[in-house]
Amino acid sequence: VSNAGVGMAGPLECQSLAAMQSLMDTNFFGLVRLVKEVLPDMKRRRGGHIVVISSIMGLQGIVFNDIYSASKFAVEGFCESLVVQALRFNVAISLVEPGPVMTEFETKLYEEAERADYSRTDPETAEIFTNLYLRNSKDVFASLGQTPEDIAEHTLRVIEAARPPFRHQTNAAYTPLAALKHADPSGALVTDAFYKLVFKYDAVLRLGLR
């Protein structure tokens, strides 16, 4: 089970390249290093199961999570490419894709975001992040967040499955995200939906969550 991960949220201009590279080294290359170690022996034994804790943000990018989403998209692409070869050797690969999870990981991330310096971006972007994104995120976590125990139970079911799924989303509330994206390959539908949620109907969104 590959579960190591770090987060990053905020305006792109305010994030250093070094911090981005460090995140990718953990979230993506950490997984790659682990798989390189375990896969050869699994192939020799013609049996094994690699379970990767991904994220719904590996399927759909979320505003102000550009680099974190990129790392999870990389994880998804890596596993999607590898799974066909792995199946030839009777090795299963499963992606567990949670939405928001209520842990110290997220609490620390948002506390740091509230204290951060946003002078390197324009005032409008800083305002959108601090007064729209952070506020809405707290409501999302309070309403839709899962516990670590819940994610563990989902992961256990994937591990114990007779035919392990390649993808397993843990939160049904996020299924429409993937559905919207597949319904319109041009991306216009999901982009328009997110734009309206963030900039036009954020008050309705928060009310609905509450």
Kindly name the residue from 68, 118, 133, 195 that is annotated as catalytic.
Answer: 68
Residues contacting residue 33 through CB under 8 Å, at least 6 positions apart? none
Which amino acid belongs to residue 206?
A: R
**Whether 97 contacts 55, CB under 8 Å:** yes
**What span, in angstroms and rounded, lies between the C-alpha atoms of 136 and 62?**
12
Would you call 68 a catalytic residue per the annotation?
yes
Dihedral sign from CA coordinates of 137, 143, 112, 55: negative
- Catalytic residue positions? 68
